[in-house]
Amino acid sequence: MAAAGTNISTDQSALLALKAHITSDPHNLIFTNWSTTTSVCNWVGITCGLGPGQGTIFRTRLRPRNLRSGPAFAFNNLMGVIPSWFGSLSNLQIFSLYGNKFSGSIPTAICNLSALQIVSLSYNQLSGSIPREIGNLTTLKEIYLDYNNFIGIPNEIGALDQLEMLFVQENVLKGNVPMDVFNMSSLITLTLYGNNLKGRLPDNICQNLPHIQTLYFSNNQLEGPLPSIFWQCKELVDLALNRNNFSGSVRTQKYWKRN
């Protein structure tokens, strides 16, 4: 229990440091509840739990799809750079600072969180390239980085063999889409619309993304012929390729023959 107590103390200090940077709490939940007079395990938005061989696990109860439904750090006026001490919350599973005014880059310390499953940093003012160290987060299942100012996706992202959701739309991504992205067989959703991406879509995209359901590449500068075997994307539901520079013809009868 000594180790668990140490983890509680460390995480409590980190969360109190974050509280000090919050400038808006409309429902007065965090300001009144996050206090040393109350056990951290009773704080709003925090869950404590013990597992075999683990210390204390702290995580928000909210998922990115439902950030408005309860207390979190979403939709505040937090600004400045993302503190690197978040990287000390070793059991963090969900890292969400959605809808604030954070700027600068993603601190590489975040990429040390080996239990992380969801990263949600959408609707901020983050910039630079997504760190290459993100490839270390092999438990990641969902990444939400849309509506920022990121300029590049690293090849190392291809190491995330459990990733199902990748949202990087409405940034300023440039150059070609890393081919490693098209080889992530676990992907269900890939949205990269509203960037400055160039190059071609690989012809074997359906073979390497067998579970893909949503592909959004609209509003880029992609070119060349469309993949000739889109009809092999058996689970594809939503496809958006408008406002690019694609050329050639579309073999409609093949795309829709399964219907």
DSSP-based helix, strand, coil % in the chain, nearest 5: 25, 20, 55
User: What percent of the chain is predicted at pLDDT more than 70?
Assistant: 75
- Comparing 27-31, 127-131, 162-166, 185-189, which segment has the lowest mean pLDDT? 27-31
CATH of the domain at 109: 3.80.10.10
Q: What's the number of domains the chain is made of? A: 1
Distance, in Å, from the CA atom of 88 to the CA atom of 10, rounded to the nearest integer, reads 8
**pLDDT tens for each residue of 7-21:** 567 677 767 776 766
Distance, in Å, from the CA atom of 250 to the CA atom of 215, rounded to the nearest integer, reads 17
Residue 24 lies in a domain: no
Residue 27 lies in a domain: no
Residue 205 lies in a domain: yes
Nearest to 201 by CA among 232, 249, 246, 240: 246
Half-sphere exposure of residue 158, counting CA atoms within 13 Å on the CB side? 12
Q: What is the model's pLDDT at position 68?
A: 31
Distance, in Å, from the CA atom of 27 to the CA atom of 163, rounded to the nearest integer, reads 34
Residue 22 lies in a domain: no
Residue 48 lies in a domain: no
**pLDDT tens for each residue of 85-117:** 888 888 888 898 989 999 999 999 999 999 999
96, 64 in Cβ contact below 8 A? yes
Average of pLDDT values for 128-144?
Answer: 95
Please give the model's pTM, rounded to 2 decimal places.
0.72
Residue 183 lies in a domain: yes
Residue 161 lies in a domain: yes
DSSP state of 59: B
Q: What is the model's pLDDT at position 105?
A: 96
The terminus-to-terminus CA distance of the chain in angstroms comes to 59
Residue 6 lies in a domain: no
Q: Which domain holds residue 126?
A: 62-255
**pLDDT tens for each residue of 22-79:** 666 666 667 777 888 888 787 776 766 544 334 333 333 333 333 233 236 777 778 8
Query: Which DSSP helix (H) or strand (E) runs through 129?
Result: strand 125-129
Distance, in Å, from the CA atom of 222 to the CA atom of 218, rounded to the nearest integer, reads 9
Contacting residues for 212 by C-beta, under 8 A, at least 6 apart: 187, 188, 189, 190, 205, 206, 233, 235, 236
**Tokens (6 digits) for 46:** 């925090």
